[in-house]
A and B are shown apart, each in its own frame.
Chain A
Amino acid sequence: MYRYDEYDHAMLAERVAQFQDQTRRYLDGKLSEAEFLPLRLQNGLYVQRLAPMLRVAVPYGLLSSAQLRKLAHIARHYDKGYGHLTTRQNIQFNWPELMDVPDILAELAEVEMHAIQTSGNCIRNVTTDHFAGAAADEIEDARPWCEIIRQWSSFHPEFAYLPRKFKIAVCGTPADQAATQVHDIGVYLLRGDDGETRFRILAGGGLGRTPVIGQVIFEQVEEPHLLSALEAIMRVYNREGRRDNKYKARIKILVRETGADRFREKVRREWERIKDSAMKLTGAEIRRCQSFFSGPDYVQRLNGSDALEESLRNDAEFALWHRRNVRAHKQPGYAIVTVSLKQTGLAPGDINDRQLDFLADLAERYSFGEARISHKQNIILADVEQRRLHALWRELGAESLETPALGLLTDIICCPGGDFCALANAKSIPLAEEIQRDFRNSAELEEIGDLSLNISGCMNACGHHHVGNIGILGVDKKGEEFYQISLGGSSARQASLGKILGPAFAREEVPGVLHILVDVYKAQRDPGEAFLDTYRRIGHEPFKQSVYADHH
């Protein structure tokens, strides 16, 4: 992974000192609330319903064991013993004391971490597919490009006061587990006819109140021009994005109101001016960044493992976990393991200090000392030898982390919702838990197969409900919490936005509705067909009719 040099260290230390000074001036009454607000947000500090919340940046989701241990330490000493993985591969702490924040930041800096630009109207932490660099079918490892973008976007002097927040995802895998098309900017890596890397760049995607899939702005940008292409989009947005209405300030509204063609023209014009400036990337810089991700020292010539085959034959539970949570690796003899954080009874994405330490240890012993956070709020050990999978699985059981849930209905993406978030219309965590309790039979879940279920507590859509195969949105009906259900969303390559099923439901009705939806699917599916594919084939009506015929 990327290692800081003296420049990175210096800037981080300077930023910590700067924020300490700003906080001091705020506490002394020399900075107004309104003036301090963007400063604290750009340092990851929210004021939430119950306490401040600190969102720590995990660049493109990648963590070392040392960093995991530091996060465990912070959870233990400054929080109530746990943290929460976000849908943008970050980790947030919900209970720190305001006066402890400078100490926390100083501790994070020791392991090259921080909370910078995880919030506020600036370019946020860049994200990618959590299998980057390991997926068997990968086009190219996106992480070096993420790192290049991280540096360009950190402390960018021109884009710290944008109309609104700005999120970038980069993806080099065909599957696209980065929700690339619903980002303000989405970058796809591809191969040009000459075999060289190219970038297809989309802009104007997003969720929230007005969900939109991004428009292609650049079909094929060559390597040296990545940053200028991004900067051109940012510049048009900074200048022309709406600042009169917070709800219309995202780039997606600008692209829509300007029209994709005219927007593209404006960006092009800007790009022509700057593409050959000093920000043009050099081959040396690209190679330098790639060198940090050249792959660990894999054991060579490992082939299929007989021991693995035998465990799969003899241990049905292990086989189930293997089928769900283990994916193909590009290095022969290795596998990608997803550790599910979706055990019933725990808020999706919550992780406690013991588990963090435990995973740090497992990462060290099984996966070259690195782990990743996925936007589905799970932890990935990306480089595990196949012959050691069974041993790893047994160890995971010791901390109840062996749930074979990946991709199943219970692998719920869920925002913090009404239990923590001041903006919520409804609670989301208790609903997730009820659903998990209701669908606790693993054979039944396995029979339903791949199905994504995403829950947001309000229109801001932090739980990505628009792109869940089934999406659930908390709404407020005359002061009561209700849940609106939508169907057909997906954040994969063939992205689509969910369509609302009909009137919202009370919380206790939701699991029953899910059973009806699943029954319609099971009755109608072709052999081997996943929920989303059946939905796309038979359409909305059969689901709608069954649900409301039984209900209202």
Chain B
Amino acid sequence: MPIIIDQKAILRQDRWTLLREASGPEVLRAAPGRSFIVPLDFYLRYRGLLDEYPGEKGVWLDSHETPEAIAGDLANLAIIALNFPVFRDGRSFTNARELREHYRYQGEIRAIGDVLRDQLFYMARCGFDSFALRHDQDPETCLAAFRDFSTGYQASIDEPAPLFRRRHDQRQA
């Protein structure tokens, strides 16, 4: 089980079960009521079954997949996990921002995969709010990552006004 940081704190109990691979719908029957994060192709294939599934559900997108595929269903999904197959693959940063800014997604966005301390700050700015750390990461060191910078120049999810607007407001005040 990976250690999860949620809202900048270490999560004691994670209710989500991430199905990295899922071939058939029997998994839903095996553990009714569990909260599952399923792969995108599984979700698209078994959407009908999932609609009737009694537990919570979410979807995870690999870095080459895009939120467009689930755009109509976002309101029913409590969590979207975005995968980093390798930390250098920056596509999931874009997916996170698109979910928040374009689709106005309000649920949890979780980083999964090669999730390392030195990428956490930018992830948080792009709209991730939970992080499944790679097994070798020290959670305490990771918590410090959210304080790497006190602010940023750009508009971001945690600071919707870019610095130039905040500077201006400050001068007006």
Please list the residues of chain A having a beta carbon within 8 angstroms of any beta carbon in chain B. Answer: 5, 7, 10-11, 14-15, 18, 22, 25, 30-31, 35, 38-39, 121, 148, 151-152, 154-162, 235, 238-239, 243, 273-274, 277-279, 281-282, 284-285, 288
Contact A10–B88 (Cβ < 8 Å): no
Interface string of B80-122 (1 = CB under 8 A from A): 0000000111110110010001100000000000001011011
B130 at the interface (CB under 8 A from A): no
B151 within 8 A of A: yes
- Produce 1/0 per residue, B116-159, CB < 8 A to A: 10110111011000000000001001000000111111111000
CB<8 Å pairs between A and B, sample of 15:
A11-B153, A18-B148, A39-B118, A121-B88, A152-B154, A158-B126, A159-B90, A159-B93, A160-B122, A161-B89, A238-B90, A238-B93, A239-B94, A281-B164, A285-B165
Known: A151-B163, A238-B91. 10 other contacts (CB 8 A): A7-B151, A155-B149, A156-B153, A160-B122, A162-B90, A243-B91, A273-B102, A278-B161, A278-B162, A285-B167
Assess the A161–B154 pair: CB atoms within 8 A: no
Residues of B within 8 A of A160 (CB): 90, 93, 122
In the bound complex, residues from chain B placing their C-beta under 8 Å from that of A279 are 154-155, 162
Q: Write out the residue numbers on chain A whose beta carbons fall within 8 Å of the beta carbon of B102.
A: 273
- Quick check: A277 and B155 within 8 Å, CB to CB? yes
For A273, what are the chain B residues with a Cβ–Cβ distance below 8 Å? Answer: 102
**Residue in B87, B97, B152 whose beta carbon sits within 8 Å of that of A11 in the complex:** B152
Do the beta carbons of B116 and A7 come within 8 Å of each other? no
Q: Is the CB of B101 within 8 A of A277?
A: yes
Q: Are A154 and B153 CB-contacts (below 8 A) given A22-B118, A278-B161, A285-B164?
A: yes
Please list the residues of chain B having a beta carbon within 8 angstroms of any beta carbon in chain A: 66, 87-91, 93-94, 97, 101-102, 116, 118-119, 121-123, 125-126, 138, 141, 148-156, 160-165, 167-168
Contact pick for A5, options B155, B160, B167, CB 8 Å:
B167
Least Cβ distance of A248 to chain B in Å?
16
Q: Chain A contacts of B138 at CB under 8 A?
A: 30
Flag if A152 contacts B90 (CB, 8 Å): no
Known: A156-B154, A157-B125, A161-B88. A7 touches B93 (CB 8 A): no
Which residue on chain B has the smallest CB distance to residue A279?
Answer: B155
A35 touches B116 (CB 8 A): yes
Q: If A239-B66, A278-B160 touch, does A158 touch B93 (CB 8 Å cutoff)?
A: yes
Asked if B88 and A14 make an inter-chain contact with CB atoms under 8 angstroms apart, the answer reads no
| Cα–Cα distance between A148 and B162 once the two chains are bound (Å) | 12
| Chain B residues within an 8 Å CB radius of A11 | 149-153
Of the candidates B101, B118, B126, B168, which one forms a contact with A284 in the assembled complex, judged by CB atoms under 8 Å apart? B168
Across the interface, do B150 and A14 meet the contact criterion of CB distance under 8 Å? yes
8 Å CB contact of A7 from B66, B141, B160, B163: B163
- Bound state CA distance, A160 and B125, in angstroms? 12
CB–CB B93/A161 < 8 A: yes
Q: Give the residues in chain A near B148, CB-CB below 8 Å.
A: 14, 18
* CB of B119 to closest CB in A, whole Å: 8
**B87 touching A161, Cβ below 8 Å:** yes
Minimum C-beta distance from B161 to chain A (A):
6
How far does the Cβ of A244 sit from chain B's closest Cβ, in whole Å? Answer: 10
The distance from the CB of A135 to the nearest CB of chain B, in whole angstroms, is 27
Contacting residues, chain B, for A14 (C-beta < 8 A)? 148-150
Chain B neighbourhood of A284, CB < 8 A? 168
* B126–A10 CB distance below 8 A: no
Give, as a whole number of angstroms, the nearest-CB distance from A243 to chain B: 6
> Distance (Å) between the CB of B151 and the closest chain A CB?
6
| Listed residue (B93, B148, B168) with the most chain A CB atoms within 10 angstroms of its CB | B93
Minimum CB–CB distance from B63 to chain A (whole Å) comes to 9
Q: Which residue of B lies closest to A10 (CB)?
A: B150
| Contact A274 B101, CB 8 Å, known A11-B152, A152-B154, A160-B122 | yes
Q: B88 contacts which chain A residues (CB < 8 A)?
A: 38, 121, 161
Complex contacts, A38 vs chain B, CB 8 Å? 88
- Of all chain A residues, the one with the shortest Cβ separation from B96 is A158
Whether A243 contacts B154 by the Cβ 8 Å rule is no
Q: How far is the CB of A551 from chain B (nearest CB, A)?
A: 47
**Residues on B with beta carbons closer than 8 Å to the beta carbon of A148:** 164
A10 touches B151 (CB 8 A): yes
B residues in contact with A281, CB < 8 Å: 164
Taking a contact as CB atoms under 8 Å apart, the answer to whether B168 and A282 are in contact is yes
* In the complex, chain B residues whose CB is within 8 Å of the CB of A274: 101
Chain A residue nearest in CB terms to B102: A273
CA A70 to CA B138, docked complex, whole Å: 38
A157→B150 contact, CB < 8 A: no
Q: Is the CB of A15 within 8 A of B90?
A: no
A30, A31, A155: residue with the most chain B Cβ atoms closer than 10 Å: A155
Check if B93 sits within 8 Å of A157, measured CB to CB.
yes
Q: Pick the 8 closest A-B CB pairs, nearest first.
A: A161-B90, A157-B122, A157-B125, A285-B164, A278-B155, A151-B153, A158-B93, A14-B149
